[in-house]
Chain A
Amino acid sequence: MMRLSGEPAYFDLEVTVNGRPYRRTVTTHRRLLDFLREELLLTGTKESCGEGECGSCTVLMNGLAVNCCLVLAVEAQGAEIVTIEGLAQGGTLNAVQQAFMDCHAVQCGYCIPGMILAAGQLLESQPRPSRQEIESALVGNICRCTGYHKIVDAVEQAAGGGA
Chain B
Amino acid sequence: MSYLGRSIKRVDGLGKVTGRTPYTPDLVLPGMVHAYPVFSNIPFGRITAIDLAAIKEAPGFIAIILAADIPGENQVGVIVHDQPLLADEVVRYVGDTIGLVVAETAAIAHALAELVQVKYEEYEPVLSMEAGRAGRGRLLHESNVACSHRSVRGDVEAGFSSSDLVVEGTFTTPHQEHFYLEPQSCLAIPEPEGGITIHGSLQCPYYVQRAVGGALGMSLARVRVVAAPLGGAFGGKEDVPSELCARAAVAAMLVGRPVKMVYDRRDDVQMTSKRHPFEMHYKVGVNRDGRLLAADVLLESNAGAYATLSSVVSYRAAIQALGPYRVENVRAISRAYYTNLPPSGAFRGFGAPQVCFGHERIMDHIAAELGIDPVELRLMNLIKPGDITSSGQRLDNCAGAEKTLTKARSTSGWLKRLPAGAGRYREGWGVATCLYGNGLGAAGWRMDGAGARLQLLRDGSLEVAYGLTDMGQGAITVVAQMSAEAVGVELSQVRVLPTDTANVPDSGPSVASRNVVLTGNAIRDAAEDLRKEMTSAAGQLLKCPPEQVEIEAGRVRDLQSGREIPLAELAEQMFVTNRSMGALGWWHAPPLDFDADRGQGEAYFAYSFAAQIARVKVDTVTGLVEVLKVWAAHDLGKAINVAGVEGQVEGAVSQAMGWALTEDLRMTDGRVDTVNFSTYLLPTFTDMAAVETIIIEEPEPLGPWGARGVGEPAIIPVAAAIANAVSDALGVPVDDLPITPEKVLALLDKADNGGLGTGTTAIGSHG
A residues in contact (CB < 8 Å) with B: 1-2, 4, 37, 41-51, 53-54, 56, 83-85, 87-88, 93, 97-98, 100-102, 104, 106-113, 116, 134-136, 138-139, 141-152
Contact = CB atoms under 8 A, between A and B. Distances in A.
Given A110-B231, A144-B234, A149 B181 contact: no
Contacts of B472: 107-110, 145
B17 A48 contact: no
A109 B229 contact: yes
Given A46-B181, A144-B682, A97 B229 contact: no
B7 A146 contact: no
Contacts of B232: 107-108, 110, 144-145
B18 A48 contact: no
A84 B14 CA distance: 12
The 3 nearest A-B residue pairs measured at CB: A44-B19, A108-B472, A109-B16
A104 B643 contact: yes
Contacts of A136: 685-686
B150 interface: no
B404 interface: no
B10 A147 contact: no
B181 A104 contact: no
Contacts of B105: 2
Interface in B12-37: 12-23, 25-26, 28
B654 A4 contact: no
Contacts of B686: 135-136, 139
A41 B688 CA distance: 35
Nearest to A131: B685
Contacts of A56: 181
Interface in B221-246: 229-234
A143 B651 CA distance: 9
A10 B179 CA distance: 36
B18 A146 contact: no
Contacts of A100: 13, 17
19 contacts: A4-B58, A4-B115, A41-B28, A50-B264, A50-B265, A100-B13, A104-B7, A107-B474, A108-B229, A108-B233, A108-B471, A109-B13, A110-B181, A134-B685, A142-B682, A147-B649, A147-B688, A148-B654, A149-B690
A143 B10 CA distance: 17
B111 interface: yes
Given A109-B21, A109-B472, 15 more contacts: A43-B25, A48-B183, A53-B677, A84-B18, A104-B9, A104-B643, A136-B685, A138-B685, A139-B686, A144-B179, A144-B232, A144-B654, A148-B650, A149-B650, A152-B685
A48 B19 contact: no
A152 B685 CA distance: 9
Instruction: Assign chain B's interface to a size class.
Output: 35 or more
B646 interface: yes
B107 interface: yes
Nearest to B178: A144
A112 B16 contact: yes
Contact of A93 (B18, B179, B180, B643): B18
A116 B17 CA distance: 8
A41 B32 CA distance: 15
Contact of A87 (B18, B264, B683): B18
B438 interface: no
A26 to B, nearest CB: 13
A108 B647 contact: no
A46 B231 contact: yes
Nearest to B112: A4
B516 to A, nearest CB: 16
Contact of A146 (B25, B58, B647, B676): B647
B577 interface: no
Interface of B: 7, 9-10, 12-23, 25-26, 28, 58, 105, 107-108, 110-112, 114-115, 178-183, 229-234, 264-265, 471-474, 643-644, 646-647, 649-655, 676-678, 682-686, 688, 690-691
A108 B231 contact: yes
Q: Main SS of chain B's interface residues?
A: loop
A83 B99 CA distance: 36
Contact of A2 (B12, B21, B111, B473): B111
Contact of B691 (A44, A110, A147): A147
Nearest to B27: A43
Contacts of B179: 144
B181 A107 contact: no
Contacts of B26: 37, 43
A147 B229 contact: no
A152 B716 CA distance: 25
Contacts of A2: 105, 107-108, 111
Contacts of A102: 9
A99 B19 CA distance: 15
A84 B19 contact: yes
B18 A104 contact: no
A126 to B, nearest CB: 15
A109 B651 CA distance: 13
A144 B677 CA distance: 12
B682 A112 contact: no
Nearest to B642: A104
Nearest to A152: B685
A101 B17 contact: yes
A147 B472 CA distance: 13
Nearest to A86: B19
Given A48-B265, A101-B17, A139 B183 contact: no
A4 B19 CA distance: 33
B18 A106 contact: no
Nearest to B658: A144
A141 B685 CA distance: 8
A132 to B, nearest CB: 8
A149 B688 contact: yes
A83 B650 CA distance: 28
A106 B17 contact: yes
B616 to A, nearest CB: 17
A47 B25 contact: yes
Contacts of B647: 104, 107, 145-147, 150
A74 B473 CA distance: 39
A85 B336 CA distance: 48
A121 to B, nearest CB: 15
Nearest to A102: B9
A149 B683 CA distance: 12
B464 to A, nearest CB: 20
A37 B105 CA distance: 13
Residue from A54, A110, A111 having most chain B Cβ neighbours under 10 A: A110
B231 A101 contact: no
A51 B265 contact: yes
Given A142-B181, A149-B691, A113 B19 contact: yes
Contacts of B471: 108
A40 to B, nearest CB: 12
Given A108-B230, A148-B654, A97 B677 contact: no
Nearest to A113: B19
A155 B147 CA distance: 48
A59 to B, nearest CB: 10
Contacts of B683: 148
A150 B650 contact: yes
Residue from B16, B233, B644, B655 having most chain A Cβ neighbours under 10 A: B16
A146 B651 contact: yes
A62 B18 CA distance: 20
A82 B135 CA distance: 57
B275 to A, nearest CB: 14
Contacts of A87: 18
Nearest to A87: B18
A93 B685 CA distance: 25
Nearest to B677: A53
Nearest to B179: A144
A149 B180 CA distance: 18
Contacts of A141: 685
A154 B472 CA distance: 18
A108 B648 CA distance: 11
Given A54-B181, A144-B232, A43 B22 contact: yes
